[in-house]
Amino acid sequence: MNLSELLKEDFSPEFQFQASRSGGAGGQNVNKVSTKVELRFNVLNSNILDESQKELIQKKCKNQINSEGELIIVSQEERTQLRNKNTVIKKFKELLVKALTIPKKRLKVTPTATMIAERLKNKKMASEKKASRGKVDY
């Protein structure tokens, strides 16, 4: 399954949400309302991901995965629990894209003779420009 098909999948049955009170300043709303949302997604027991995808996610997101193999994403930026829940889901999908995209291999390119000559010409011009900035005799 490729990445675009994977992102169209419904991960919601495998999500576990937990709400708690946000930290920091905010006054009465912060002290009373549980708006901070924590998403837990068990990478190891996922039915949607295949083994290679699980390995990639575990390797690239190892700092966000706990000892039980759960990927944990937290959001407390918004003022409501629903908005934080949507933000967490969005962060999860972005993290999936980032973890599962394999970068292209870089091809080494040897510079051509023209490229080398052009670079040396530019260096020479810059050197002459800087050398002409010396003190002026009157």
Total structural domains within the chain: 1
126 inside domain: no
Whether the pLDDT of residue 137 is over 90: the answer is: no
70 inside domain: yes
98 close to 57: Cβ distance less than 8 angstroms: no
Please report where in the chains the tokens 């919601």 appear, as a residue: 12
Q: What is the pLDDT of residue 1?
A: 67
Distances (CA, A) of 1 to 4, 9, 32: 8, 10, 44
Q: What is the pLDDT of residue 78?
A: 86
Going by their DSSP bridges, the two strands 70-75 and 36-42 should be labelled as antiparallel
Q: Which domain holds residue 19?
A: 3-100
Helices 81-100 and 51-60: crossing angle, nearest 10°? 110
> Cα–Cα distance between 69 and 45 in angstroms, integer?
8
At residue 76, what is the residue type?
Q
For 67-107, what is each residue's pLDDT tens digit?
998 999 999 888 889 999 999 999 999 999 999 888 899 99
What's the CATH number where 67 sits?
3.30.160.20
For 35-76, what is each residue's pLDDT tens digit?
899 999 999 888 888 899 899 999 998 899 999 989 999 998
For 4-35, what is each residue's pLDDT tens digit?
777 778 888 889 998 888 877 767 777 788 88
